Amino acid sequence: MKKNQFVLAVYVDNQFGVLTRVTSMFTRRGFNIDALTVGETERPEYSRITISLSGDGYAREQMLNQLRKLVNVKKVEIIPEDNAVKRELSLIKLRNTSEHRSEIMVAVEVYRAKIIDYGPESLCIEITGEPSKIDAFIRTVMPYGIIEMCRTGEVALERGSASILEHD
């Protein structure tokens, strides 16, 4: 069977320990999470966990069914690939040398990134966008010396005016 990347939006009670229960369920079932982000929603009593993972159709259905059984889970939806806005954030610390500074500045401008910290020996760059854009930026700046970097993983919203929570 073919494994596809998919993104789940999981709305949970905004309470201590809920994230641990959700991620433990993945561990118990032997599923690997590619990326996970979590934060409070427009309704403070709920948090939204955005989970990116890979699997075949059977695995996807198993995950949906298992998540829906958890007490603190209020809603689980697959974000449709063809009707979603997806973004990722990355912070990248690069070596700041006079010989490469102008090339780095050009790359920052071309990829619409931002320099958020400037020091004599390093630059910290913020970039947001589709994961493929961030991958391309990383490949571009890698020769200049990446000191450190972190990525958030994808966050995604379905297009349109409705909220997933409105469908309760």
User: With pLDDT > 70 as the criterion, what percentage of the chain qualifies?
Assistant: 95
Q: Which tokens sit at 35?
A: 């990326």
Q: Which tokens sit at 83?
A: 């009707």
Closest CA to 73 of 144, 155, 8: 8
70 and 90 in a single domain? The answer is: no
Domain boundary at 35, 57, 79, which?
A: 79
| Tens-digit pLDDT profile for residues 97-111 | 999 999 999 999 999
- Residue 38 near residue 48 (C-beta atoms within 8 A): yes
Mean pLDDT of 136-151: 97
pTM recorded for the entire structure: 0.80
9 and 72 in a single domain? The answer is: yes
Number of structural domains the chain divides into: 2
132 and 105 in a single domain? The answer is: yes
Q: Residue 1 — pLDDT band, cuts 50, 70, 90?
A: very low
Closest CA to 140 of 168, 115, 167, 103: 103
Residue 94's CATH number: 3.30.70.1150
Q: What is the largest CA-CA distance in the chain?
A: 58
